[in-house]
């Protein structure tokens, strides 16, 4: 049985931990709101650009002069996995679920005899993949010190990926991130980034559309931007998801700490009472002996 002093120290330390987790939960809640707003504000652009690219791409489908980014290299040998995770931990299974998905994907590609290259965005993904796939990692991008994800980060990243693609470094690029469904639900997602795969256009393009310059040229300037925007929305979803996961994890931690304090307090009180009783019995039996 632990002594009273030990119990007291234990309770104090759990209380201190609870204070920290509570504070982290509140910080995450505030950041979550901001991240969610940013994700929502970015939606109109992504949505419109997606619609226009889908329209143009379906018009270009099968044509010989389709841009490289759309048509692909025609091979399926070298795969680049872009794994986007958070920069920090303490957010439940958020990072590990993204990494797990990427790892499974990499394993199945390797089993099929393909070459796998990995580019990580965010420190946690790099740390988790380092041991197993260290020699396959071509680069790691860290977002340390980035307060809010700006579009310029996505542009830089997109440019790097497109440059690698044009240099023939890989044939297929898949993006891994976490889709933000709700505060308590984030779904790790794999999305093909290159060659650009677009959904079928919602509505057929008006037939008398005029293009300036022609479709192919517009598409050529638009595709790199489309990739940047896709990356940007993935990063924003990740940011919101990370905060959501952190909030949930810290809420759980705070509650667990509360339960622990309750349990420890009961033990503490019982021990104290037992000690008092023993002391009384000692005094009484001492008095009787006189």
Partner 1 sequence: MATFKFELVSPERLILSIDADQVDLPGSEGDFGVLAGHAPFLTTLKTGIVTVKAGGVSSRIYVRGGFADVNASGLSVLAEKAVPEAEFDPAVAASEVAAAEAVLAEAKSEEAKDRAIAALDQAKTAIAALA
- Active-site positions read 91
Q: Which of 8, 27, 29, 52 binds partner 1 (CB under 8 A)?
A: 52
- Between CA 161 and CA 190 the distance in angstroms is 16
Give min distance, CB of 212 to partner 1, in A: 4
- Between CA 23 and CA 198 the distance in angstroms is 43
When asked if residue 38 is in the footprint of partner 1 (CB under 8 A), the reply is yes
Give min distance, CB of 213 to partner 1, in A: 6
Q: Which of 61, 134, 150, 199 binds partner 1 (CB under 8 A)?
A: 150
Give min distance, CB of 60 to partner 1, in A: 13
Count of positions (residues) in the chain? 290
When asked if residue 57 is in the footprint of partner 1 (CB under 8 A), the reply is no
x/- map, 155-194, partner 1, by CB under 8 A: x---------------------------------------
Give min distance, CB of 197 to partner 1, in A: 21
When asked if residue 12 is in the footprint of partner 1 (CB under 8 A), the reply is no
Q: Which of residues 247-276 bind partner 1 (CB under 8 A)?
A: none
User: Do residues 124 and 144 lie in contact, with contact meaning Cβ atoms separated by under 8 Å?
Assistant: no
When asked if residue 229 is in the footprint of partner 1 (CB under 8 A), the reply is yes
Measured CA angle at 183 (ends 179, 186), to 5 deg:
25
- Between CA 85 and CA 93 the distance in angstroms is 11
| 144: nearest Cα among 62, 86, 80, 190 | 86
Which is nearer to partner 1, 132 or 199 (by Cβ)? 199
Q: Cα 40 from chain centroid?
A: 17
- Between CA 137 and CA 290 the distance in angstroms is 83
Which is nearer to partner 1, 46 or 183 (by Cβ)? 46
When asked if residue 198 is in the footprint of partner 1 (CB under 8 A), the reply is no
Compute how many residues bind partner 1; rule: CB under 8 A: 28
DSSP 200: P
| Pairing, β 185-194 against β 172-182 | antiparallel
Element of type H or E holding 266: helix 215-289
Give min distance, CB of 254 to partner 1, in A: 34
User: Do residues 99 and 128 lie in contact, with contact meaning Cβ atoms separated by under 8 Å?
Assistant: yes
| 126: nearest Cα among 142, 114, 111 | 142
Binding residues for partner 1, per CB under 8 A? 38, 41-42, 44-46, 48-49, 52, 150-151, 154-155, 206, 208-213, 217-218, 221-222, 225, 228-229, 232
């Amino acid at each position: 049985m632990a002594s009273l002093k030990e119990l007291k120290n234990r309770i104090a330390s759990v209380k201190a931990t609870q204070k920290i987790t509570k504070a982290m939960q509140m910080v995450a809640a505030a950041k979550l709101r901001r991240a969610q707003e940013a994700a929502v504000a970015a939606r109109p652009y992504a949505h419109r650009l997606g619609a226009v690219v889908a329209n143009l791409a379906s018009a270009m489908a099968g044509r010989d002069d389709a841009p490289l980014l759309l048509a692909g290299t025609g091979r399926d040998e070298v795969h680049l996995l872009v794994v986007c995770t958070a920069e920090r931990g303490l957010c439940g299974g958020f990072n590990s679920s993204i990494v797990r998905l990427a790892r499974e994907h990499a394993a199945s590609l390797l089993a099929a005899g393909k070459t796998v290259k990995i580019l990580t965005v965010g420190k946690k993904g790099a740390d988790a993949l380092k041991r197993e796939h260290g020699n396959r990692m071509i680069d790691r991008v860290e977002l340390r010190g980035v307060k809010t994800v700006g579009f310029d980060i996505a542009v830089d990243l997109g440019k790097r990926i497109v440059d690698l693609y044009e240099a023939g470094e890989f044939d297929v690029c898949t993006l891994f991130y976490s889709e933000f469904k709700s505060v308590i639900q984030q779904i790790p997602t794999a999305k093909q980034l290159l060659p650009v795969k677009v959904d079928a256009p919602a509505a057929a393009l008006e037939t008398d559309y005029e293009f300036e310059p022609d479709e192919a040229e517009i598409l050529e300037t638009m595709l790199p931007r489309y990739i940047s925007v896709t990356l940007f929305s993935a990063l924003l979803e990740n940011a919101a998801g990370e905060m959501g996961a952190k909030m949930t994890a810290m809420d759980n931690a705070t509650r667990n700490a509360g339960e622990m304090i309750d349990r420890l307090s009961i033990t503490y009180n019982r021990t104290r009472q037992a000690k008092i009783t023993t002391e009384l019995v000692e005094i009484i039996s001492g008095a009787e002996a006189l």
